[in-house]
Amino acid sequence: MVNFRLSHGLAVIAVLWANGCQAPAKNAAPPLVIAPAPPALPRLTQAQYANSILDVLGAGLVVPPTLEPDVAYDDLFSVGASVASVSPRGVELYEDGARSLATQVIGKPAVLAALLPCTATSTADGACLDAFVAKVGRKLWRRPLAAEERAPLVAVGVQAANALGGFQHGVEYALVGLLQSPRFLYRPEVGEADPDFGGQRLTSYELATRLSYFLWNGPPDDALLDAAQSGALNTDDGLAAQVDRLMADPKVHRAVRNFADEWLQLRDLLDLTKDPNVYDDFSSDLGGSARDETLSLVEYLALDQDADFRQLLLSRTTFVDRRLAAIYDVPAVSDTGVAQIELPPGERLGILGQVSFLAARAHPVSSSPTIRGKYVRQMLLCDTVPNPPAGLNTALSDEGTATTMRQKLAEHVASPSCQACHSFIDPIGLGFEHFDGIGRFRTQDNGAPIDTTGVLDTVPFADLATLANDIAQSPKYSHCVTQKLYAYAVGRPVTDGEAPQVDALSGDFVTGGQHLKALMRAIALSQGFRRIGARNDTITGATP
């Protein structure tokens, strides 16, 4: 049989630029000049893989739980997917997964019937197998398969059907080939000549794929592939129509949740551990509850309410189960499930008052202003925080007269090797000291009153409420949200040449009231989302 293992790899992608540009119309706004990023080859993340399987093959299948691990780059798994390679073990896992899924498909008559576009007339009906490969392959590979691409898959299927005595086994082996192919596991972006602005743009099928994995975190449906085939996606109106259709679909909820999961590093909560001798309220399910709380708030604000996204830091609305209600010291509305509540004024607000942040950004036995301050700098303000020098002892000493966390950090910062970084992040983190390492509110640290005053970029604050408001009002926050979402959308790091695009999108985000849905739409319609380039090439395009 033909071997379709991933280790065969992909051909090198080469992109050549065409010359020329389009002159702006009279009285038009000055054109936006960007240097499009080079072609990328993003691999499906584990979430994208699972959604692709369930959307195409059927919701009743069990997706393999173990695949090549996701790797974060610029803090996002979706960006890491464009730079990470596949290990030899990962190749084996993808092969095992493909075989498991194909076996499940032929073992479920209803699933198999839904995928077959024909009725086999013989054990090895090559014509029907070819129709199956064409139909399912178009959805899995996110474009039509050429005859020469279908032929070896059909040949494998015919051979398997004859050898194993059943047409369903032909389907099984053809499907294994489709699922093991790099054309499924990767999202190649080769591009084509751009007749409007010169240079290169994504092909219509590549654009459909990028669009669906951005707005749905899953594969294009038939309507989007049909729009790509007809050329509608190559027009502004056609693209806008598809963007609006995708954003009106419930699948946009899983995309927003996945973006939040990556951006806010909520997956870390699945491995949350605390010392039970210090925190007797901790249990292994707390991390999962905290993760769901934050994802629910993001989904509620961004989609259900279409609220100003600064409310992510300022809202008192939250979603708690009994375990979180106990930590927040509020009545549990539901005995078994999750309830939406309004937290009382005073102690908490927004994600910075939630267990997902406070417990995950702390030590197993104590709070950590340093870890919390670094998180705010990197995740919410997109500041660069250098790693400590190799071999540097970052542990706080228990010796001396310092008893509170603030006092211990003051001694630590006195070291010349620590001062630069700690003076950048610790004053922010000290604003969260009213919360211990599990997120419970407290008023004292080791018997002393807690001082939560600090400074954010020369602006003093008194407590969590004033700090959260200062972050929300900072231009850095709105720009950081834009930058993170743009990188997530295109699935690769943002380059210097794309800075004008991100700046323009951020400016519109602010003037439009900071609505995440509007930002998602603007990114999907931007020229940076649609175009690719080679290094050192610059194009001029329309304003975003």
Tell me the per-residue pLDDT of 460-485, one tens digit each, with 9 for 90 and over: 999 999 999 999 999 999 999 999 99
Residue 51 in contact with residue 227, Cβ under 8 Å? Answer: no
Provide the 10 A C-beta neighbour count for residue 70.
20
Kindly write down the DSSP assignment for every residue of 237-255, as one continuous string.
HHHHHHHHHHHTSTHHHHH
To which H or E segment does residue 503 belong? helix 499-511
Kindly write down the DSSP assignment for every residue of 428-493, as one continuous string.
HHGGGTTB-TTS-B-SEETTEE----EEETTEEE-SHHHHHHHHHH-HHHHHHHHHHHHHHHHTSP
Residue 408 confidence (pLDDT)? 85
* The token pair that represents 216 in the structure block: 């749905």
* The token pair that represents 163 in the structure block: 């050898």
Determine the Cα–Cα distance for residues 212 and 51; give it in Å rounded to an integer: 11
DSSP, res 181: S
Q: What is the mean pLDDT of residues 204-228?
A: 98
* The token pair that represents 487 in the structure block: 């990188």
pLDDT above 90 covers a percentage of the chain that reads 79
Judged against a pLDDT cut of 80, whether residue 300 lies above it is answered with yes
Judged against a pLDDT cut of 70, whether residue 18 lies above it is answered with no
Residue 10 confidence (pLDDT)? 35
Residue 421 confidence (pLDDT)? 80
pLDDT digits (tens, 9 = 90+) for 481-513: 999 999 999 999 999 999 999 999 999 999 999
| pLDDT category of residue 335 using cuts at 50, 70 and 90 | confident
| pLDDT category of residue 394 using cuts at 50, 70 and 90 | low
Judged against a pLDDT cut of 80, whether residue 397 lies above it is answered with no
pLDDT digits (tens, 9 = 90+) for 412-460: 666 666 677 888 999 999 999 999 999 999 999 989 999 999 999 999 9
Residue 178 confidence (pLDDT)? 98
pLDDT digits (tens, 9 = 90+) for 525-536: 999 999 998 744
Residue 279 confidence (pLDDT)? 94
Residue 179 in contact with residue 64, Cβ under 8 Å? Answer: no
Angle at 33 between CA 32 and CA 38, to 5 degrees: 125
Judged against a pLDDT cut of 90, whether residue 227 lies above it is answered with yes
Judged against a pLDDT cut of 60, whether residue 282 lies above it is answered with yes
Judged against a pLDDT cut of 60, whether residue 63 lies above it is answered with yes
| pLDDT category of residue 3 using cuts at 50, 70 and 90 | very low
| pLDDT category of residue 101 using cuts at 50, 70 and 90 | very high
| pLDDT category of residue 261 using cuts at 50, 70 and 90 | very high
Residue 197 confidence (pLDDT)? 81
Residue 392 in contact with residue 420, Cβ under 8 Å? Answer: no
Judged against a pLDDT cut of 90, whether residue 181 lies above it is answered with yes
Q: Which residue has the tokens 């189960």?
A: 321
| pLDDT category of residue 537 using cuts at 50, 70 and 90 | very low
Residue 423 confidence (pLDDT)? 86
Residue 145 in contact with residue 187, Cβ under 8 Å? Answer: no
Residue 169 in contact with residue 124, Cβ under 8 Å? Answer: no
For residue 73, CA distances in Å to 80, 129, 160, 174, 334 come to: 4, 40, 41, 34, 39
DSSP, res 144: P
Residue 389 confidence (pLDDT)? 67
Q: What is the mean pLDDT of residues 336-340?
A: 92
Judged against a pLDDT cut of 50, whether residue 17 lies above it is answered with no
| Dihedral pair phi/psi, residue 98, rounded to 5° | -65, -40
**398 versus 175: which is more confidently predicted?**
175
Using DSSP's 3-state secondary structure scheme, residue 193 falls into strand
* Encoded amino acid at 30, one letter: P
Mean pLDDT for the chain? 90
| Total count of residues recorded for the chain | 544
* Encoded amino acid at 139, one letter: K
Residue 198 confidence (pLDDT)? 82
Residue 392 confidence (pLDDT)? 54
Residue 320 confidence (pLDDT)? 96
Using DSSP's 3-state secondary structure scheme, residue 318 falls into strand
Judged against a pLDDT cut of 50, whether residue 8 lies above it is answered with no
Judged against a pLDDT cut of 80, whether residue 9 lies above it is answered with no
pLDDT above 70 covers a percentage of the chain that reads 89
Residue 49 confidence (pLDDT)? 98
Using DSSP's 3-state secondary structure scheme, residue 422 falls into helix
Half-sphere exposure of residue 461, counting CA atoms within 13 Å on the CB side?
Answer: 20
Residue 314 confidence (pLDDT)? 98
